[in-house]
Structure 1
Amino acid sequence: MLSKKRTRVVALLFLFAILFLTYRLADIQLISTTSFSKNKVNLIQESVDQRTHRFTINDGRGYFLDRNGELLSTDVTAQVIVFPNLYSSKWPIESIADILDIQTSNFTKKISDLKKPSALSLSEEISIEQMNEINKLEIPGLYAQLVTKRNPTPFANHIIGAVGQDPDLIKRKYEDKLKKGTVTISTKTGKNGMQYTFDPFLISEGETEYIYHVDRQGHPLFGLDVKFRSQSNPLYPLHVKTTLDKKMQETVEKALDAHGVEEGGAVLLDIESNELLSMSSRPLFSSKTIYKHVDHMTSQQIPGSVFKIVTAAAAIEENRIQNEKTYDCNLNIYGEKDERQLGMLNVENSFTQSCNRTFGELANELQKKDTDFMEKYAEKLGLLTHNGWQGEVYHLEAFSHFYKEESGQVYNSKKKESNYKSSLATSQTAIGQLDVKVTPLAVANMMATIARGGISYEVKSAKSVNFANGTELIEFADHKKEDEKLSPYTIMRLQSLLLNVVKNEKGTGHALQSLPFQVAGKSGTAQKGEDQRFNNKWFAGYFPAEKPRFALVIVDLKHDTVNRTIPVFRDIAIEIMKKKIE
């Protein structure tokens, strides 16, 4: 009896196993052929892909141009593409080698080393003429094409960004394209920078490629030729015409590296158009560290004395400055002896020489009248808001030119209001310490606003999105900021103060006097609470001061004993002015 029960149990288990395997097989071959497992794998497509040899000429993703039409994120080169399975003794080896200017033995060896369709590794890039000569031979399995190669760590690293595979994002963001088959779960998407923000316009609508089908053993299927497949819509891929200037970006990158800025960066704006000409952050990210680095130029940093511009603007606007009144700059904000011993200075000279004591006292005077004055004037100068272009573009309600741009702060919202009531806290805040944090992009826009006479705009990093034939799809119009502004008199006084920082022999920017044009600006040094070994060092300014054309901010977040910001500012300014004259 017991034996019969065991037999029945075992039989049932076998039956369930067979039913399960039958269902599984049916699921794979009949039911879920186009959407198998939680990953929604298209089994039919995967089967085809396993028996298809392909060479991608263009991944179909859109690309970036600089303001002058030069490629930024991709390289396009003429290459010779070989399908090694189709190589035969009938190929005119000598003619091919002669066109490519290589030895015949060298050419045949390169082919024998290939295991799949690949571009030939040549010592020199072939010309368009050579490419055309190869194609005239009409050899099955040998083709010459302009191949688009995406740079893994592109030029203008942080601002342009990088791409990578993200199946979850594809399913979440591009479900309709996935269903239509224009994208797959392996289609690359933007991971950061403009690659991410402009991804809806750049994502591939289909690849351009050579494809060839093989059997299980990898041999060519009889009667099938290599086919050329491209996007069905000739208007794609789209491209973004940025506001960046490739030569200026090269100048900025070179200067940062030459002076050893390990952590920090630079922002360069065109004052007239308020367009971004260059932006660079250090350290650079690689394909392996893409998620470990932030763009320091669009994230909060402690500004130090650069923030004195805000305190000075408030004091001028509220009529709290008396030219004859002097402050004891032999003391610091703690009432202790200051190591620089600057003597008794009025407000103008205090700004020029960056005396903390003066601006601490001014802030406390202003605080008695208006406890919110610091935030009010930081807001007027654009330091507390996003400064990058934002707006509605088609169905994208809050489209932004800058990836994860942070806004600034005067006070830490997590702390109690009482933390900022003391005289010392007010003084610390007035000189850009305590909890004050702003982005270098915002500071650059503030400098451009002051240089322009007080008119403020959002910063653009792109001019337009265009179809493949160059026709404009989207133009990004100027966005004038309608925030409450400073009076023309205050702006004029700020311009004078910034100019004296460089013109005055005792000014903190006097090292820039030797330039063949005038610079107006403000230095800043900020102590970093979390790392006492280094300070934040800034120089923010514009040039030429008499007819402003460029706003430039340099930040060194690992400042020790060497002031790198002014030498970097000087080198960039000289080269930029040369390029504009040329």
Structure 2
Amino acid sequence: MVWMRQRRIWFSLLVITLLLGIWLGRLAWIQVIDTGSFSRRDIDLTRNSVAQREVGIELDSGRGGFVDRLGKPLTGETVKALVVFPLSRSETQYAGALAEAGAILQADGKVWNDFVSSAVSPAMWTDAASGLPVALTDKQVRILTGLDIPGIVVMDTVRRYPGDGAARHVIGYIGQNPQRIESEFARQLLSGSLTMTSRIGASGLEKTMETYLQSVGKTSVSLFTDGAHRPLAGLNVRLIQPNNPYYPLQVNTTLDLDLQKQAERLLDKAGIASGAAVILDANNADVLAMASRPDFDPYRVTPQDGNWGNKALKAITPGSVFKTVVAAAALEEGVVQPGETFECNGELGKYGFTCWLHGGHGTITFEEGFAKSCNIVFARVMQRLSGSKLQEVADRLGLDRQVGWSAGNNDGKSWSQFDGEERGQIFAGRTPSEDEGVRVQTAIGQRDVLVSPLQAANLVVTLLHGGEVRSPRIVTDVRYRTGAVVKSFPERVLVSGKAGIPAKTAGTILDFMQEVVSEGTGQSLQNAKWHLAGKSGTAQTACGGRPCVHSWFVGYGPAEKPKYAVAVVAENEPENTASRAIAAFRDIMDMLAERENKLLPRDK
């Protein structure tokens, strides 16, 4: 019996030893040999265990960027930033070094100590006001690196929008928009390249070029630790970045970064708190600069305040700038000749219509009436001209439509490079365009007339091209990282010379615009560095119940051989004050003249 009992015990021990061996062997197989899968569900144990301990921080979103016509970056500023990893470190051993690091960063001692000690995941040292990574100087980088504090390192990170960034309204901003992602990017949502919380273009080129800008992978740095925040052997800190030679894509714009910065500076110098300036290449209508005020912070956008909106694309009342269109229509229809004389005593005699000059201009020719912007002359001319004819000529000059570069999509909808460009109008939908009272108000660019600064600048280019309407571009092409072209946007004509106004009429209007400066409302431009030409406008509007005006000036220079077409508008200005638009126009043209002078070849 004893022998049998011992035999059963030895047999049980043998089975237990065998089962334990099998279990240990299986465990070794899982942990050492076949770490990539477990069970029928193919669960990757290593990946999942590491993922539980992996904490990371994004260094670069991988989103495509914008450059100006010379390749200068408009987005994507690489800066040195301080990253703190939640590692265990001796507070006694590194107390002095940590205090020195805080002093180098000019940080409040308590804020800095709390930031380091409370970190549970990698974190960047950021500016309290902006929330952006603090850009370290070379000296700070050198000293911080020399301190050699565990878990505190200097790394390159990319800020989407540079601190001194220009063309903010043109570029726009990014933000969350789950409804748009769901409706327009269902394929990317299904593939996982976008999620409902992804940040996509919300305005400007960020929005219109979104398809080309989406990332194929971000660059991040990850730390792998155990439960006590100790680095895992062989893993520690790891840089993760996409290995794709083609992405991110680069969007090449027509902008000139130096001109853009100067245009913005000159708007501010002129005191234009609300308004815009557009500089077009007179040769092909490409946008060289497009400035809008007030400015906005693309990192801190309040959608309701509207400051992010590009005023260069918003259609507002143009005032006497529109007399350019009336003059073209009247000359083409033959209802007036440049030398025909009119009498202006300051009042039309009906509709309460008056001239801006108290007492009137006296006897004045049509040509002089344009230069001096006489309201009575243009009211008399418009009495002879039908509303339908004015509408027709305005259409042929590129008004009452979107002029920016656009194309049709496969779904039949139009896609434009310009986000939110307004088409403007001549007559509102139910306005009786043949009513004489309506026509005389329209003749001076009031009542229903709306024009955007982009349209106004392009109108000048149209006249310079003999009536041929061009479509302004702000993007020339999109390229892979290799330089190969993904998509190009060639120059485009909206209205051919044959379909536009006659070249002779266009030439006459250009001559009229020179007289505006030589003897009319633009005489203050006679002291400019170039011989200039253009047309002023003062549109009456209301500002919270009080009267105010939109002040305009559009024109070209140099008059002898035009290179640039410029439109400037200062919105909601007090009545009877000096035109900030004319002042800004002159400064912009002087800046362009100085630039051209520097580019001229020097005599040796």
- How far residue 448 of structure 1 moved from its aligned partner, in angstroms, is 1.3
Q: Tell me the residue number matched to 2:174.
A: 163
- Alignment TM-score, normalising by the size of structure 1: 0.81
Q: What amino acid is the match of 1:273?
A: N
Q: What amino acid is the match of 1:196?
A: K
Q: Pick one of 555, 563, 570 that aligns with 1:556.
A: 570
- How far residue 478 of structure 1 moved from its aligned partner, in angstroms, is 0.5
Pair 312,204 (structure 1): closer, same or farther in 2 beyond 3 Å: same
Pair 126,84 (structure 1): closer, same or farther in 2 beyond 3 Å: farther
CA contact (8 A) 1:96 1:134 kept: no
1:301-320 equivalence runs, <5 A: 301-320=316-335
1:256-271 equivalence runs, <5 A: 256-271=267-282
Q: What amino acid is the match of 1:378?
A: A
- Say yes or no: does 1:519 pair with 2:529: no
1:345-356 equivalence runs, <5 A: 345-356=364-375
Q: Pick one of 362, 374, 397 that aligns with 2:390.
A: 374
Q: Tell me the residue number matched to 1:330.
A: 345
CA contact (8 A) 2:88 2:229 kept: no
Q: Tell me the residue number matched to 1:432.
A: 445
Give the secondary structure class of the aligned counterpart of 1:534: strand
> How far apart, CA to CA, are the structure 1 residues paired with 2:318 and 2:311?
13
> How far apart, CA to CA, are the structure 2 residues paired with 1:360 and 1:187?
55
- Report how many residues are paired: 529
Pair 445,109 (structure 1): closer, same or farther in 2 beyond 3 Å: closer
Q: Tell me the residue number matched to 1:445.
A: 458
CA contact (8 A) 1:239 1:468 kept: yes
CA contact (8 A) 1:84 1:111 kept: no
- How far residue 174 of structure 1 moved from its aligned partner, in angstroms, is 2.4
> How far apart, CA to CA, are the structure 2 residues paired with 1:306 and 1:47?
69
> How far apart, CA to CA, are the structure 1 residues paired with 2:48 and 2:384?
73
Q: Tell me the residue number matched to 2:289.
A: 278
- Say yes or no: does 1:500 pair with 2:493: no
CA contact (8 A) 1:388 1:401 kept: yes
- After TM superposition, the structure 1 stretch with the greater mean CA deviation from structure 2, 252-261 or 192-201, is 252-261
1:183-202 equivalence runs, <5 A: 183-202=194-213
> How far apart, CA to CA, are the structure 2 residues paired with 1:352 and 1:411?
25
- How far residue 353 of structure 1 moved from its aligned partner, in angstroms, is 0.3
> How far apart, CA to CA, are the structure 2 residues paired with 1:219 and 1:576?
60
> How far apart, CA to CA, are the structure 1 residues paired with 2:264 and 2:111?
41
Pair 290,46 (structure 1): closer, same or farther in 2 beyond 3 Å: farther
CA shift digits 1:242-286 (9 cap, x unpaired): 111111111111111122212211111111131111112222334
Q: Tell me the residue number matched to 1:33.
A: none
Q: What amino acid is the match of 1:427?
A: V
Give the secondary structure class of the aligned counterpart of 2:312: coil
- How far residue 447 of structure 1 moved from its aligned partner, in angstroms, is 0.7
Q: Percent identity at matched positions?
A: 31
Q: Tell me the residue number matched to 1:58.
A: 60
- Say yes or no: does 1:117 pair with 2:136: no
Q: Tell me the residue number matched to 2:32.
A: none
- After TM superposition, the structure 1 stretch with the greater mean CA deviation from structure 2, 488-497 or 388-397, is 388-397
CA contact (8 A) 2:542 2:549 kept: no
- Say yes or no: does 1:212 pair with 2:223: yes
CA contact (8 A) 2:467 2:506 kept: yes
Q: Which runs of 5+ in 2 are unaligned?
A: 1-46, 127-132, 599-604
> How far apart, CA to CA, are the structure 1 residues paired with 2:334 and 2:109?
81
- How far residue 311 of structure 1 moved from its aligned partner, in angstroms, is 0.8
- Say yes or no: does 1:478 pair with 2:474: no
Q: Tell me the residue number matched to 1:398.
A: 414
Pair 325,231 (structure 1): closer, same or farther in 2 beyond 3 Å: same
Q: What amino acid is the match of 1:447?
A: V
- After TM superposition, the structure 1 stretch with the greater mean CA deviation from structure 2, 481-490 or 518-527, is 481-490
- How far residue 90 of structure 1 moved from its aligned partner, in angstroms, is 13
Q: Which runs of 5+ in 1 are unaligned?
A: 1-44
> How far apart, CA to CA, are the structure 2 residues paired with 1:478 and 1:422?
40
- After TM superposition, the structure 1 stretch with the greater mean CA deviation from structure 2, 277-286 or 209-218, is 209-218
Q: Tell me the residue number matched to 1:39.
A: none
- How far residue 140 of structure 1 moved from its aligned partner, in angstroms, is 7.6
> How far apart, CA to CA, are the structure 2 residues paired with 1:190 and 1:323?
50
> How far apart, CA to CA, are the structure 1 residues paired with 2:82 and 2:328?
63
Q: What amino acid is the match of 2:572?
A: K
> How far apart, CA to CA, are the structure 1 residues paired with 2:224 and 2:582?
61
Q: What amino acid is the match of 2:565?
A: A
Larger Rg: 2
Pair 80,315 (structure 1): closer, same or farther in 2 beyond 3 Å: same
CA shift digits 1:12-49 (9 cap, x unpaired): xxxxxxxxxxxxxxxxxxxxxxxxxxxxxxxxx99998
Pair 466,87 (structure 1): closer, same or farther in 2 beyond 3 Å: farther
Q: What amino acid is the match of 1:62?
A: G
Pair 337,90 (structure 1): closer, same or farther in 2 beyond 3 Å: closer
- How far residue 477 of structure 1 moved from its aligned partner, in angstroms, is 0.5
Q: Tell me the residue number matched to 2:548.
A: 534
- How far residue 564 of structure 1 moved from its aligned partner, in angstroms, is 0.7
Pair 392,215 (structure 1): closer, same or farther in 2 beyond 3 Å: farther
Give the secondary structure class of the aligned counterpart of 2:495: coil
- How far residue 465 of structure 1 moved from its aligned partner, in angstroms, is 1.0
Q: Pick one of 342, 362, 365 that aligns with 2:361.
A: 342
Q: Tell me the residue number matched to 1:177.
A: 188
Pair 262,182 (structure 1): closer, same or farther in 2 beyond 3 Å: same
Pair 128,478 (structure 1): closer, same or farther in 2 beyond 3 Å: farther
- How far residue 205 of structure 1 moved from its aligned partner, in angstroms, is 1.9
CA contact (8 A) 2:540 2:547 kept: no
- Say yes or no: does 1:69 pair with 2:89: no
> How far apart, CA to CA, are the structure 1 residues paired with 2:541 and 2:396?
26
> How far apart, CA to CA, are the structure 2 residues paired with 1:88 and 1:206?
36
- How far residue 456 of structure 1 moved from its aligned partner, in angstroms, is 2.1
- Alignment TM-score, normalising by the size of structure 2: 0.78
- Say yes or no: does 1:290 pair with 2:284: no
Q: Pick one of 381, 385, 393 that aligns with 1:362.
A: 381
- Say yes or no: does 1:385 pair with 2:390: no
> How far apart, CA to CA, are the structure 1 residues paired with 2:325 and 2:472?
20
Pair 420,480 (structure 1): closer, same or farther in 2 beyond 3 Å: closer
Pair 464,489 (structure 1): closer, same or farther in 2 beyond 3 Å: same
Give the secondary structure class of the aligned counterpart of 2:276: strand
Give the secondary structure class of the aligned counterpart of 2:512: helix
RMSD: 3.7
Pair 313,229 (structure 1): closer, same or farther in 2 beyond 3 Å: same
> How far apart, CA to CA, are the structure 2 residues paired with 1:472 and 1:101?
49
Q: What amino acid is the match of 1:170?
A: I
Q: What amino acid is the match of 1:204?
A: S
Q: Tell me the residue number matched to 1:577.
A: 593
